[in-house]
């Protein structure tokens, strides 16, 4: 055993070293590129993983030049297609903030070298490798489902049968997350086991000998894993089943835990970076939970109670990992899984398999079953949507530290031991103590925390008072959408609130926003408000007078009415105090809303620290502000530049009156408006006033006390993590 461990360790070291050295090879501008089956076509972009002629793996991006070109690519399986390409390797953009999706980490977890942007591509040939052939079959199944299944059932069938979630509705997917049953809407180890059992039993019913049936399963499983998309959980299940069946053939006894360990070693040897994939981590952790808690599961013969124990065991052991990656936990999952695991596993999955077979061999019977099944399935969806709407299902935890996560894991393992000894009090205590620490940890800070979120071409800032007594969100970002050809439009529109603002709030462990301030009625400041209100409890909203009448506010106001959130119009003269922190609105001065210069301008004072948030205030509003509030504006610490640093703002008299120590521009990278304008940047440089731009450094976070303030940007956080990893 020791010899085997030594061999495996050295093999892993040399293989990993060779892989890393290989990934650091320079990428030529002209090369050949072969697509894998991991790609998507969305809008005008083709994106996915591909291999270059030197063997390097890259994340390739190609922009279609016409609708005809896009349609041509959509009609074929690109896996195995080789092109002569001209392009260049570009660095991934910064994540919006430390809790947002990181393209760099995603690429690394798939053992790719970087992003390769294709300028020109010329078809050369198509490989006839086994992987390409299986990918082609998967593509045909996908297209077959789209042609033969009712539209409402296509996404489900593609997800359950071939692991393709491209067409899954975003709202429905969120409903599954809230109920903690997302794993059921994808191919998992349980699905592989069930499919294997169904095929095996069918072969036995056809009077095929057990040995031959086992051989068929052993051959078919890897093929099915490829066609099913090859997720880590699928390969884990397939390898374990293969090993157990092979051990039976050779009359040896391989335990399930040994098979699981060997599968882990094999997958890590094949692709070391797979260990950073969340699906891989969760899959193995959940399986380990079930294997090593057999005593708990066998403590009762009641099937419902056993199902409940299985859910509890899995959910408890994986919850520290879940909250570390996703910052929240579904409390209803403990009950929802008892209902939906059998429903999906023993009814919905087999029905989809049968329907796929019938649509291939006897379409009339398939249509008859669709006629019966579709309304029943829609009823299940309505039930899911109703259940997910029940409030307080999600426990927002924030991202706990690694130490706290380890404490939670140790507590759970100790709880399992005490449960087996029937010491339920100690078992409960071992779970509750880490949970309590995780719950209160995000609010245990003495300083004021101010964040300028990188929301692209928009604005969003967050103020957290000491010990999280109050939380203010000023604007929520958004996109200014422009008309474009339909074929260029993405299947799912990017939502700043859902993708950037909400993940940051949850990553910080913010469960309640005391006041949401919408400075004025522009899409790039208020469009994300709906997602924030849907996901985070908001106590009240402040707006500038009459701005609610604007069309861009229509959906926001409807949701405000639905959720019965107090909506208050505010203007100059409104002051309040929270502890030692003072707030004051400096504009607008009248109730007639006319645009940017009627933005709600907020001044915050905490000891010697002064922060001015100006919305989209322009020169006219700035000069009026200086005239009315000169003394209040002197010696600013932080200025959030008005109107993203456009040439119509940041007037020189205003800057001379305020003299901010640091000015922050909130802009989008390479935005079409050229913000901040060159004239404004030159003005700041000439006046020797330092600036930071969210487009360049990412999200900007500040910790403020009465006597000092510290600043950290996303760019600095990433560099710090890289330095620690070395």
Q: pLDDT by residue (tens digit) across 551-573?
A: 999 999 999 999 999 999 999 98
Instruction: Report pLDDT digits (tens) over 442-501.
Output: 999 999 999 999 999 999 999 999 999 999 999 999 887 777 788 888 888 888 999 999
According to CATH, the superfamily of the domain at 448-480+495-725 is Ribonuclease Z/Hydroxyacylglutathione hydrolase-like (3.60.15.10)
Query: If you ran DSSP here, which 8-state letter would residue 492 be given?
Result: S
> Among 195-209, 264-278, 317-331, 347-361, which is the least confidently predicted range?
195-209
Query: Can you give 555-609 as a three-state secondary structure string?
Result: HHHHHHHHHCCCEEECCCCCEEEECCEEEEEEECCCCCCCCHHHCCEEEEEECCE
Instruction: Report pLDDT digits (tens) over 81-111.
Output: 999 999 999 989 899 999 999 999 999 999 8
What is residue 519's predicted lDDT score, i.e. its pLDDT? 95
Neighbours of 371 (CB within 10 A): 10
What is residue 1's predicted lDDT score, i.e. its pLDDT? 44
Q: Which token pair is 530?
A: 């709906």
- Between CA 120 and CA 87 the distance in angstroms is 7
The residues, ordered by sequence, that sit 6+ positions from 394 with a Cβ below 8 Å of its Cβ are: 178, 328, 329, 330, 331
Query: Can you give 289-318 as a three-state secondary structure string?
Result: HHHCCHHHHCCCCCHHHHHHHHHHHHHHHH
Helix then strand count (H, E) for the chain reads 28, 22
**Residue 5 in this model has a pLDDT that exceeds 50:** no
Band of pLDDT at residue 229, cut at 50, 70 and 90: confident
**Residue 268 in this model has a pLDDT that exceeds 60:** yes
CA dihedral sign, ordered 567, 572, 573, 579: positive
> Among 192-206, 292-306, 534-548, which is the least confidently predicted range?
292-306
Residues 543, 570 contacting (CB under 8 angstroms): yes
- Between CA 162 and CA 142 the distance in angstroms is 7
What is residue 488's predicted lDDT score, i.e. its pLDDT? 85
Residues 606, 636 contacting (CB under 8 angstroms): no
Residues 115, 52 contacting (CB under 8 angstroms): no
Band of pLDDT at residue 21, cut at 50, 70 and 90: low
Query: If you ran DSSP here, which 8-state letter would residue 126 be given?
Result: E
Strand segments (E) across 414-560: 448-452, 461-464, 471-474, 512-518, 537-543
The residues, ordered by sequence, that sit 6+ positions from 499 with a Cβ below 8 Å of its Cβ are: 96, 100, 101
What mean pLDDT is predicted for residues 634-654? 93
Instruction: Report pLDDT digits (tens) over 563-612.
Output: 999 999 999 989 999 999 999 999 998 889 998 999 999 999 999 999 99
**Residue 521 in this model has a pLDDT that exceeds 70:** yes
What is residue 16's predicted lDDT score, i.e. its pLDDT? 52
**For the residues of 494-509, what is the DSSP string, one character each?**
--HIIIIIHHHHHHTT
Percent of the chain with pLDDT over 70: 95
What is residue 246's predicted lDDT score, i.e. its pLDDT? 82
* 338, 339, 341, 344 alpha-carbon torsion, rounded to 10°: 180
Neighbours of 279 (CB within 10 A): 17
Q: What is the mean pLDDT of the chain?
A: 89
**For the residues of 133-198, what is the DSSP string, one character each?**
HHHHHHHHHHHHHHHHS-HHHHHHHHHHHH---TT--HHHHHHHHHHT-GGGGS--HHHHHHHHHH
Query: If you ran DSSP here, which 8-state letter would residue 487 be given?
Result: G
What mean pLDDT is predicted for residues 535-557? 94
Instruction: Report pLDDT digits (tens) over 27-62.
Output: 778 899 999 998 999 989 999 999 998 888 999 999
What mean pLDDT is predicted for residues 110-134? 90
In the chain, domain spans: 28-127, 136-399, 405-443, 448-480+495-725
Query: If you ran DSSP here, which 8-state letter would residue 344 be given?
Result: I
What is residue 193's predicted lDDT score, i.e. its pLDDT? 75
Neighbours of 56 (CB within 10 A): 21
List 601's β-bridge partners, or say none: 587
Give per-residue burial for 634-645: e unless 16+ CB within 10 Å, then b: eebbbbbbbbbb
Burial of 100 (0-12, 13-18, 19+ CB in 10 A): buried
- The reply to whether domains 28-127 and 448-480+495-725 share a CATH topology is no
- Between CA 671 and CA 644 the distance in angstroms is 11
- Between CA 225 and CA 78 the distance in angstroms is 19
Neighbours of 580 (CB within 10 A): 12
**Residue 172 in this model has a pLDDT that exceeds 60:** yes
What is residue 96's predicted lDDT score, i.e. its pLDDT? 94
- Between CA 370 and CA 386 the distance in angstroms is 24
Q: What's the farthest any 2 CA atoms get from each other in the chain? A: 94
pTM beyond 0.85: the answer is yes
Domain 28-127 part of CATH 3.40.50.10320: no
What is residue 289's predicted lDDT score, i.e. its pLDDT? 85
Band of pLDDT at residue 724, cut at 50, 70 and 90: low
**Residue 638 in this model has a pLDDT that exceeds 60:** yes
Between 706 and 252, the more confident residue is 706
Neighbouring C-alpha atoms within 13 Å toward the C-beta of 557: 13
What is residue 684's predicted lDDT score, i.e. its pLDDT? 95
Closest listed residue to residue 619, CA positions, set 648, 640, 594, 599:
648
Neighbours of 265 (CB within 10 A): 15
What is residue 2's predicted lDDT score, i.e. its pLDDT? 46
What mean pLDDT is predicted for residues 327-345? 89
Cα angle 79, 85, 91 (rounded to 5 degrees) comes to: 90
Instruction: Report pLDDT digits (tens) over 292-313.
Output: 777 777 777 776 777 777 888 8
CA 481 vs CA 64, 241, 550: distances in Å: 20, 50, 16
**Residue 216 in this model has a pLDDT that exceeds 70:** yes
Closest listed residue to residue 631, CA positions, set 605, 597, 613:
605
What is residue 196's predicted lDDT score, i.e. its pLDDT? 78
> Among 330-334, 456-460, 483-487, 684-688, which is the least confidently predicted range?
483-487
Between 484 and 112, the more confident residue is 112
């Amino acid at each position: 055993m020791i010899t085997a461990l030594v061999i495996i360790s050295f093999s892993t070291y040399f293989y990993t070293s060779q892989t890393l050295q290989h990934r650091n090879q320079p990428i030529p501008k002209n090369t050949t590129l072969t697509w894998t089956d991991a790609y998507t076509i969305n809008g005008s972009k083709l994106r996915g993983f591909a291999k270059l002629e030197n063997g390097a793996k890259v994340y390739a991006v190609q922009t279609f030049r016409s609708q005809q070109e896009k349609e041509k690519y959509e009609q074929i399986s690109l896996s195995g297609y080789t092109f002569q390409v001209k392009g260049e390797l570009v660095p991934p953009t910064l994540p919006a903030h430390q809790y947002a999706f990181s393209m760099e980490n995603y690429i690394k977890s798939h053992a790719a070298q970087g992003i390769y942007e294709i300028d020109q591509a010329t078809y050369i040939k198509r490989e006839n490798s086994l992987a390409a052939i299986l990918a082609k079959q998967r593509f045909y199944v996908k297209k077959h489902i789209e042609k033969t299944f009712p539209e409402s059932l296509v996404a489900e069938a593609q997800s359950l049968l071939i692991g393709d979630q491209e067409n899954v509705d975003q709202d429905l997917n969120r409903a599954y997350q809230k109920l903690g049953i997302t794993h059921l809407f994808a191919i998992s180890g349980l699905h592989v086991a069930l499919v294997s059992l169904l095929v095996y039993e069918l072969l036995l019913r056809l009077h095929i000998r057990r040995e031959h049936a086992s051989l068929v399963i052993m051959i078919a499983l890897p093929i099915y894993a490829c066609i099913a998309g090859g997720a880590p959980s699928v390969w884990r299940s397939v390898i374990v089943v293969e090993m157990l069946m092979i051990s039976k053939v050779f009359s040896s006894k391989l335990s399930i835990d040994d098979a699981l360990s060997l599968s882990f070693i094999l997958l890590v040897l094949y692709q070391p970076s797979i260990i950073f994939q969340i699906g891989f981590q969760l899959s193995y952790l959940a399986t380990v939970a079930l294997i090593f808690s057999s005593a708990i599961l066998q403590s009762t013969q009641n099937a419902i109670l056993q199902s409940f124990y299985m859910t509890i065991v899995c959910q408890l052991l994986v919850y520290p990992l879940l909250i570390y990656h996703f910052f929240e936990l579904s409390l209803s999952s403990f009950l929802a899984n008892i209902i939906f695991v059998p429903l999906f596993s023993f009814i919905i999955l087999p029905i989809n398999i049968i329907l796929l077979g019938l649509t291939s061999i006897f379409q009339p019977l398939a249509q008859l079953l669709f006629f019966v099944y579709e309304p029943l399935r829609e009823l299940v969806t309505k039930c899911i949507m109703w259940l997910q709407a029940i409030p307080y299902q999600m426990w927002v935890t924030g991202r706990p530290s690694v130490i706290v996560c380890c404490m939670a894991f140790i507590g759970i393992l100790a709880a399992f031991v005490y449960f087996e000894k029937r010491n339920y009090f100690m078992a409960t205590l071992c779970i509750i103590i880490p949970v309590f620490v995780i719950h209160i940890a995000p609010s245990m800070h003495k300083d004021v925390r101010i964040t300028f979120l990188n929301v692209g071409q928009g604005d969003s800032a967050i103020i957290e008072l000491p010990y999280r007594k109050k939380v203010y969100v000023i604007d929520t970002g958004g996109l200014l959408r422009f008309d474009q050809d339909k074929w260029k439009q993405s299947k799912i529109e990017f939502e700043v609130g859902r993708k950037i603002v909400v993940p940051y709030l949850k990553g910080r462990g913010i469960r309640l926003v005391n006041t949401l301030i919408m400075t004025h009625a522009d899409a790039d400041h208020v469009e994300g408000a709906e997602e924030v209100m849907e996901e985070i409890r908001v106590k009240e909203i402040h707006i500038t007078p009459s701005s609610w009448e604007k069309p861009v506010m229509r959906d926001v106001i409807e949701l405000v009415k639905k959720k019965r959130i107090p909506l208050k119009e505010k203007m100059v003269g409104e002051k309040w105090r929270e502890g030692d922190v003072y707030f004051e609105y400096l504009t607008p001065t009248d109730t007639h809303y006319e645009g940017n210069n009627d933005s709600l301008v907020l001044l915050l004072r905490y000891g010697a620290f002064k922060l001015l948030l100006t919305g989209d205030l322009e020169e006219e509003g700035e000069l009026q502000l200086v005239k009315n509030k000169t003394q209040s504006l002197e010696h600013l610490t932080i200025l959030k530049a008005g109107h993203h640093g456009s040439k119509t703002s940041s007037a020189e008299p205003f800057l001379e009156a305020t003299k901010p120590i640091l000015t922050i521009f909130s802009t989008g990278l390479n935005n079409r408006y050229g913000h901040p304008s060159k004239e404004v940047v030159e003005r700041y440089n000439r006046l020797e006033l330092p600036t930071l731009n969210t487009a360049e450094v990412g999200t900007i976070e500040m910790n403020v006390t009465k006597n000092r303030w510290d600043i950290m940007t996303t760019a600095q956080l990433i560099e710090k993590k890289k330095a620690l990893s070395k």
